[in-house]
Chains A and B, each alone.
Chain A
Amino acid sequence: DAGITQSPRHKVTETGTPVTLRCHQTENHRYMYWYRQDPGHGLRLIHYSYGVKDTDKGEVSDGYSVSRSKTEDFLLTLESATSSQTSVYFCAISESGLAGGSETQYFGPGTRLLVL
């Protein structure tokens, strides 16, 4: 398995509270991604990073922010959690981005978030 860990693995929180999910990699890959996975929607990209302090929005970025201060860590923050953000969140990494020949993504174990 690629060296990717996510924390926490499970979290229950209340509407309106801030939540931060952490992704940590030991592969020194340049690209890191946050996806959410919901029934009927599949995997959808929230944000991604192509280097330290370099991030961009994905398909479903509203209500989420990210930060990457070190190569190995990528944080996803829900500023004020809502019930619609109840989901399974996956972090992924890849050596390169859109078209570098090494854009295969490797996924972390996931975080199950329940917003009550």
Chain B
Amino acid sequence: QKEVEQNSGPLSVPEGAIASLNCTYSDRGSQSFFWYRQYSGKSPELIMSIYSNGDKEDGRFTAQLNKASQYVSLLIRDSQPSDSATYLCGSNQFYFGTGTSLTVIP
């Protein structure tokens, strides 16, 4: 079992819809989590970091952390075609999920 697991997808949503990406982790020692976006052939770039239980919002992005259930999620509201990318979930224990491929259909 990987330390950080993600559904690999692919996930397709229509433009304007909400995209929901999920991640679970196994190490209860993990304290902080990160969502990265990676376009094809490019390096990962940070979208959100979250350290505390609950929701954290930044523009169209909301990260959710539930330490009791050991899951992290990322919601993208009003999805745009430019959001089409692979999204990586990572923990402060240097583990990353395999990524979820998102396609936003115009």
A109 touching B49, Cβ below 8 Å: no
Grouping DSSP codes into helix (H, G, I), strand (E, B) and loop, the A interface class, with mixed when no group exceeds half, is loop
Docked pose: A91 CA to B61 CA in angstroms: 26
Residue A79 is within 8 A (CB to CB) of chain B in the complex: no
Grouping DSSP codes into helix (H, G, I), strand (E, B) and loop, the B interface class, with mixed when no group exceeds half, is loop
Residue B26 is within 8 A (CB to CB) of chain A in the complex: no
B44 touching A99, Cβ below 8 Å: no
Docked pose: A21 CA to B49 CA in angstroms: 29
Residues of chain A from 56 to 75 with CB closer than 8 A to chain B in the complex = 58-59
Could you say which of A43, A48, A98, A103 contacts B44, with CB atoms under 8 Å apart? A43
Residue A45 is within 8 A (CB to CB) of chain B in the complex: yes
Residue B105 is within 8 A (CB to CB) of chain A in the complex: no
Interface residues on B, range: 20 to 34
Docked pose: A90 CA to B43 CA in angstroms: 8
Residues of chain B from 57 to 106 with CB closer than 8 A to chain A in the complex = 88, 90, 92-99
B32 touching A42, Cβ below 8 Å: no
A42 touching B88, Cβ below 8 Å: yes
A40 touching B98, Cβ below 8 Å: yes
Question: How far in angstroms is the closest Cβ of chain B from A20?
Answer: 20
Q: How many A-B residue pairs have CB under 8 A?
A: 48
B46 touching A104, Cβ below 8 Å: yes
B49 touching A48, Cβ below 8 Å: no
A42 touching B31, Cβ below 8 Å: no
- Residues from chain A with a CB closer than 8 A to the CB of B31 are 98-99
Residue A82 is within 8 A (CB to CB) of chain B in the complex: no
Q: Which residue of B lies closest to A99 (CB)?
A: B31
- Residues of chain B having any CB pair with chain A under 8 Å: 31-32, 34, 36, 42-46, 49, 51, 88, 90, 92-99
Beyond the given A42-B96, A43-B44, could you list 15 further A-B residue pairs with CB under 8 A, ordered by the A residue number? A42-B88, A42-B98, A42-B99, A43-B90, A43-B96, A44-B96, A45-B94, A90-B44, A101-B51, A104-B46, A106-B46, A107-B44, A107-B45, A108-B43, A110-B42
Sample (29) of A-B pairs whose CB atoms are under 8 Å apart = A33-B94, A41-B98, A42-B88, A42-B97, A42-B99, A43-B44, A43-B96, A44-B96, A45-B94, A45-B95, A59-B94, A59-B95, A90-B43, A90-B44, A98-B31, A98-B92, A98-B93, A98-B94, A99-B32, A101-B51, A103-B32, A103-B92, A104-B34, A104-B46, A105-B34, A105-B46, A105-B90, A109-B43, A110-B43
